[in-house]
Amino acid sequence: MKLHIAIAGIAGVLALASGPARAGIDDAKAAALLKTGGCSTCHTVDKKLVGPAFKDVAAKHKGEADAVANLTKVVRAGGKGVYGPIPMPPNPAAKLGDADLKDVLEWVLTK
């Protein structure tokens, strides 16, 4: 009986430990990071500005398992031709760190 309890306890700890280390960010934190990264100069949540609205980015990448990784590459290297003729300049890690970029992209994909 004690063995079953110990195994269940260990399994519970492992399940918790295997979850994401960082929680999602709220809208206020996202807005601050978008400003720091310069993203809000060209993007808004619900309407096209210079670049696409975040809701359009989320819709385009809905269901993609590797959406964050793919968007990270575009943000870091820059992109062109996906949403129109205006190219997106690269956004270096010195401007917005990798962990913050990941949080922002996960937030964008919820819109």
Of residues 8 and 67, the one with the higher pLDDT is 67
Radius of gyration of the chain (CA): 18
- The predicted model scores a pTM of 0.78
Q: Are 42 and 79 in contact (CB under 8 A)?
A: no
Q: Please, are residues 61 and 71 in contact by the beta-carbon 8 Å criterion?
A: yes
Task: Provide the CB-side half-sphere exposure for 110 (13 A, CA).
Answer: 11
Spatial separation of the C-alpha atoms in residues 105 and 108, rounded to whole Å: 5
- pLDDT tens-place string over residues 38-95: 999 999 999 999 999 999 999 999 999 999 999 999 999 999 999 999 999 999 999 9
Domains annotated on the chain, with CATH: 24-108 (1.10.760.10)
Phi, psi for 16 (deg, rounded to 5): -65, -40
Are 92 and 76 in contact, with CB atoms under 8 Å apart?
yes
The pLDDT score that the predictor gives to residue 3 is 40
Cβ atoms of residues 52 and 43 within 8 Å: yes
Q: How confident is the model at residue 5 (pLDDT cuts 50, 70, 90)?
A: very low
Residue 11 confidence (pLDDT): 39
